[in-house]
Amino acid sequence: MVEQQQQVEQPRRGRPRSETARKGILGATAKLLLSQGLASVSMDEVAEHAGVSKATIYRWWPTKESLALEALLDEWDTSPSSPRDTGSLRGDLLALIRPWTRRLRARPYGRVIAALITEAQTDPEFGAVYRARFVERRREPARALFRRAIERAEIPAETDVEIALDLIFGPIYHRLLHGHAPLTDRFVEAAVDSALAGFVAARSKT
Amino acid sequence: MVEQQQQVEQPRRGRPRSETARKGILGATAKLLLSQGLASVSMDEVAEHAGVSKATIYRWWPTKESLALEALLDEWDTSPSSPRDTGSLRGDLLALIRPWTRRLRARPYGRVIAALITEAQTDPEFGAVYRARFVERRREPARALFRRAIERAEIPAETDVEIALDLIFGPIYHRLLHGHAPLTDRFVEAAVDSALAGFVAARSKT
Amino acid sequence: MVEQQQQVEQPRRGRPRSETARKGILGATAKLLLSQGLASVSMDEVAEHAGVSKATIYRWWPTKESLALEALLDEWDTSPSSPRDTGSLRGDLLALIRPWTRRLRARPYGRVIAALITEAQTDPEFGAVYRARFVERRREPARALFRRAIERAEIPAETDVEIALDLIFGPIYHRLLHGHAPLTDRFVEAAVDSALAGFVAARSKT
Amino acid sequence: MVEQQQQVEQPRRGRPRSETARKGILGATAKLLLSQGLASVSMDEVAEHAGVSKATIYRWWPTKESLALEALLDEWDTSPSSPRDTGSLRGDLLALIRPWTRRLRARPYGRVIAALITEAQTDPEFGAVYRARFVERRREPARALFRRAIERAEIPAETDVEIALDLIFGPIYHRLLHGHAPLTDRFVEAAVDSALAGFVAARSKT
DNA sequence: CGGTAATCGAGACGGTACGTCATGTCTTACA
DNA sequence: TGTAAGACATGACGTACCGTCTCGATTACCG
């Protein structure tokens, strides 16, 4: 019984927020983002495509970037997919990450993500939101897998999980963002294997 | 018998390009970039700080991003420093990469690099230049180290060097850009070790 | 049964146009025009003096010239003053034209009018507006006087009124624009007398 | 005899001025002026069409307007045409003015002249040159005709010739510049007749 | 015949204004 | 109170032209 989403259906006064408008805005934003990239999308354009007033957008999202972040999350996670237990950390990680990278390379997400990272670098507040809602969304499930692997003594308890996560996600983001080489399944496996090999090696030293 | 880039001292017609202006523009740009980030730097501002006309900037650089790229390179690499031979691939790589990452975290380069990556995602032409001049500048020396290690049979000849490079640079860029954790020397060593452990493991399997 | 210009109080949607801004723009423009001449007035300057954004100016006036035209009309004619009947065509014409020329020489209008004429020569669309709103504003009342004089048989019915108008206004504009000699009351009278003498002469020939 | 062009063939040092360049510049300017109007002609454009450097133009003409004025005079007056004596002032005036107005309406001179007048209003120095070289070029011959008519007692000696000239040229410039009605031969005759009728009328009063 | 000096081409430069565009705020009337 | 419509201030954009400048090359004369 976690989370206890208090939020007691407090009966708001005045006209309620239009759900149609909300969906229209997020949908139009996602569509425009993927076809043009964030910089080329203007708020006027979003408003027009969503059949909505610009003021309505600004009432609910403070900046274009925060709107883009939510639109991307909304477009992305219809089904957050809880990964099943494959028996090994390697298998669990691949079951988690491979579908994600496949999705990533299916459409030009890299362009939008790069723009969000840029904004995150500039606006610390947005950076916090970006990391919490976007990065951690993949990182936390992976972290859980590591914890489970430690519990069942598959990997050493001293393992620095945060570093391990960076060793896996780092190369993936690298290819996604720099585009110097394709983000293939094989590459994902190499990243996972290498990160895990590090622990094996570390352990064998011990 | 290499190309002997003669560059036939062809006596240029017309007024020669002002070297003062060029340096002023690059200097002002670098300074402003590091203090404000690319998005907040306006061309008017650069022109004013450089004591130069905006038209002069646009005559030589087509976009703010291309100017930023060159300014960053100019500010960065006075001497690209050829790394000495430490005897081992691990030592060579650390000798190459550690000073670079120290430089990276000394000033807010991550913010600017993120913006350049964003532009590289949007403008393919700029992307090619960015990768050739910025990414390869570190990647190629590292690649050379791997080749040398293969020659002296320190690592297997079948090693996929490109993947290895991504396994090293990926995590570093990841922390630089996402800023979720600091880019410490220890982290750099972990990345290098992990990438190399991959080969050792691969070899031991054989 | 005239047109009954109903103008159905149609409740405009959206934020209404700012009357403050409109007046500020026209006022600032008129002031700057008369002190500097049209060429030296920049849109930025008008915007600043009017406490208004440049975009707001361009929303309502397509060019600097069209703005200048309206500003001049606005500054000029608060009350177009219907001339009284003096009993003779000559008297009526002088009553109409003399105050106008006095106004003309009171401030450097000639400079601005010359610029408007130049633009009218270049942009036919503007030319049509210029003639309709600026030239005809004086010409039509004068034309009416001629019609009345014909009705009461003061001048021949065959009189080519358009030519007559040019014979009066031509010399006045000539001195206004070329500035080779002053635009005195005496000169205005000479122009009117000469134009009328032509008809008398023509009639006496008959 | 006349004009005594002093300018004593003083043997200049250095490379002499290129006559080819001078003609090229004036020719290109005149051609561009008539096809585009002064405002749309840029000095770079003139330089390119004339196969000449911009610096060369500025060496000999201080402003675009002064260049335009000279180009127009150059293009215009191949033969200044001394008008013959027709026996009457009216005939003499028409012989002088009619060919001029025919030329005026043959090509879009009005547009250029309007621009020159505008500049003359702004820059007094240019205004003086404009009047001396352009306006007086037609006005002085006409003035001479009036003087001759006075000498032979065709018109009263008290005639205010300057006003008379304005009564003739004013209407012509009016139609040329405003373009509200065509500058026909008939109109020119009406202007001349009206101006002369004024004297007759004035005389008959006496 | 070599030196001096003005001119020429090419084209880079500082400066100024242009007209457009996007952001985020606001003011209406309507729901 | 939420919304569509749309005007608004702000400020940067990238372009265009002006008039000046700095080169090297050319073309006269003068000694």
Is pTM beyond 0.85? Reply is yes
Q: Residue closest to F28, CA→C1'?
A: D15
Which of the residues C104, C159, C180 would you substitute to probe the D interface, choosing the one with the greatest number of D C-beta atoms within 10 Å? C180
pLDDT of residue D1: 39
Protein CA D13 to sugar C1' E3 (Å): 13
Closest chain D residue to C110, measured at CA: D121
D60/D157 Cα distance (integer angstroms): 44
pLDDT of residue A11: 59
Mean pLDDT of chain D: 89
Question: Which nucleotides on strand F sit less than 7 A from a protein beta carbon?
Answer: 1-30
Q: Residue closest to E31, CA→C1'?
A: A15
Helix orientation angle between A161-178 and B161-178, rounded to the nearest 10 degrees: 100
Closest to A188 measured CA to CA, from A114, A90, A103, A97: A97
D141 to each of D9, D95, D110, D147, how far by Cα in Å? 30, 11, 21, 10
Q: pLDDT, tens digit, for every residue of B136-168?
A: 999 999 999 999 999 999 999 999 999 999 999
Confidence band (pLDDT; 50, 70, 90) for D7?
A: very low
| Average pLDDT estimate for D130-154 | 95
Among the partner-chain residues D131, D177, D191, the one whose CB lies closest to the CB of C167 is: D191
Whether nucleic acid strand F comes within 7 Å of the CB of D15, the answer is: yes
Closest chain A residue to B109, measured at CA: A121
pLDDT of residue B78: 62
pLDDT of residue B85: 84
> Which of chain D's residues have a Cβ under 8 Å away from the Cβ of C110?
121
> Which of chain B's residues have a Cβ under 8 Å away from the Cβ of A180?
131, 135
Closest to B193 measured CA to CA, from A204, A135, A183, A152: A204
Which of the residues A34, A41, A174 would you substitute to probe the B interface, choosing the one with the greatest number of B C-beta atoms within 10 Å? A174
Residues in contact with A168: Cβ distance below 8 Å, sequence separation at least 6, in sequence order: A93, A97, A142, A191, A192, A195
Q: pLDDT, tens digit, for every residue of D109-129?
A: 999 999 999 999 999 999 999
pLDDT of residue D82: 65
Closest chain A residue to B201, measured at CA: A197
Among the partner-chain residues D114, D172, D175, the one whose CB lies closest to the CB of C121 is: D114
Neighbours of chain B (3+ CB pairs under 8 A): A
Whether nucleic acid strand F comes within 7 Å of the CB of A16, the answer is: yes
| Average pLDDT estimate for A142-155 | 94
Neighbours of chain C (3+ CB pairs under 8 A): D
pLDDT of residue B4: 44
Q: pLDDT, tens digit, for every residue of C144-178?
A: 999 999 999 999 999 999 999 999 999 999 999 99
Confidence band (pLDDT; 50, 70, 90) for C83?
A: low
Closest to B101 measured CA to CA, from B89, B109, B112, B111: B109
C39/D119 Cα distance (integer angstroms): 9
Residues in contact with D60: Cβ distance below 8 Å, sequence separation at least 6, in sequence order: D17, D22, D25
Q: pLDDT, tens digit, for every residue of B91-108?
A: 999 999 999 999 999 999
Q: Are D191 and D93 in contact (CB under 8 A)?
A: no
Protein CA C127 to sugar C1' E29 (Å): 39
Rounded (10°) CA dihedral D91, D92, D95, D101: -100
